[in-house]
Amino acid sequence: MTGNRNLRVAAIQQTCSDDKTASLDTSERLVRQAASEGAQLVVLQELHATLYFCQTEDTSVFDLAEPIPGPTTDRLCALAGELGIVLVGSVFERRMSGVYHNTAVVVETDGSLAGIYRKMHIPDDPGFYEKFYFTPGDATCNDGRNGFTPIDTSVGRLGVLVCWDQWYPEAARLMALAGADLLIYPTAIGWDTTDDPDEQARQLDAWVTVQRGHAVANGLPVIAPNRVGTEPDPSGQSAGIRFWGNSFICGPQGEVLSRAEEHQEAVLTVDIDQHRSESVRRLWPYLRDRRIDAYNDILKRVRD
């Protein structure tokens, strides 16, 4: 982390459209608002440049994918460099013909690309047919690093993960063990519009709780921006997804520092005490007391 005690961070919750330029215009407007409020680190939601196209399987959608660097990263790099912020964005990446990723990009204050993270856990559920579009990230990167490796920036080591990754304690733990200062989860999650209110409440509560649990178990702040708004199913097979917003930022004991509503765009801006994780870990030394000699079975699909 940087030398200053407080780091001002922002999570962006936005609506998206089928016009990539318009969606990026919205992202830029909200990022500028966050920077005007003093944010040094700004995090955008998953796939913020497009509609959430994974509600159906359509090969023409691959035309939306871009290389890295490419038009979207060029725009994000220029914006971060102009504002002097560290910016986390999201790209539907075309790595090569037939290999596409759901990729988070991290841009430094000078506009350079600090690093990327390719989503490792890929869902395949009704309305979330991501395995059709995305190849999982590499378990080992080209430079020999584990895929769950923080990205070094001027504001700290960022443990960037993406959406479905947020349900897996292993991913959060590996980022923590590799020295992450923050856990970051760009997200696109919402309700089937036919779900009853009780089921909606259970799903939302589970989503918030599991990520607060990662904060507690690892003694790290969590930034979780989610999209908002109802997006129709292009195939007409369902009523679409109502993205539930509720973006939030919490501290290293899971304490909620800021949380958005479910119906509208939002910029959450808070100060994070950069020394608090050290204090918390001294009182709650989970990492000290791990029984690494007894965890071999975690590498098995199931225990026999």
Q: For the range 273-278, what are the long-range contacts, defined as Cβ-Cβ under 8 Å and sequence gap of 24 or more?
A: 273/5, 273/6, 274/1, 274/2, 274/4, 274/5, 274/6, 274/7, 274/156, 274/181, 275/5, 276/221, 276/251, 276/252, 277/181, 277/219, 277/220, 277/221, 277/252
Q: Is 261 a catalytic residue?
A: no
In a domain, 8, yes or no: no
- 106-156 pLDDT, tens digit per residue, is 999 999 999 999 999 999 999 999 999 999 999 877 676 778 999 999 999
- 155-207 pLDDT, tens digit per residue, is 999 999 999 999 999 999 999 999 999 999 999 999 998 889 999 999 999 99
Other Cβ atoms closer than 10 A to 135 = 17
Taking the C-alpha atoms of residue 236 and residue 18, their distance in angstroms, rounded to an integer, is 16
- 16-50 pLDDT, tens digit per residue, is 999 999 999 999 999 999 999 999 999 999 999 99
Q: Give the single-character DSSP code of 223.
A: E
In a domain, 197, yes or no: yes
CATH of residue 28:
3.60.110.10
In a domain, 4, yes or no: no
Q: Is 46 a catalytic residue?
A: yes
In a domain, 195, yes or no: yes
From the list 16, 66, 93, 119, the catalytic residue is 119
From the list 16, 54, 77, 163, the catalytic residue is 163
In a domain, 120, yes or no: yes
From the list 46, 231, 262, 265, the catalytic residue is 46
| Domain carrying residue 181 | 13-299
In a domain, 173, yes or no: yes
Taking the C-alpha atoms of residue 68 and residue 289, their distance in angstroms, rounded to an integer, is 41
The domain total for the chain is 1
In a domain, 46, yes or no: yes
Q: Is 250 a catalytic residue?
A: no
In a domain, 216, yes or no: yes
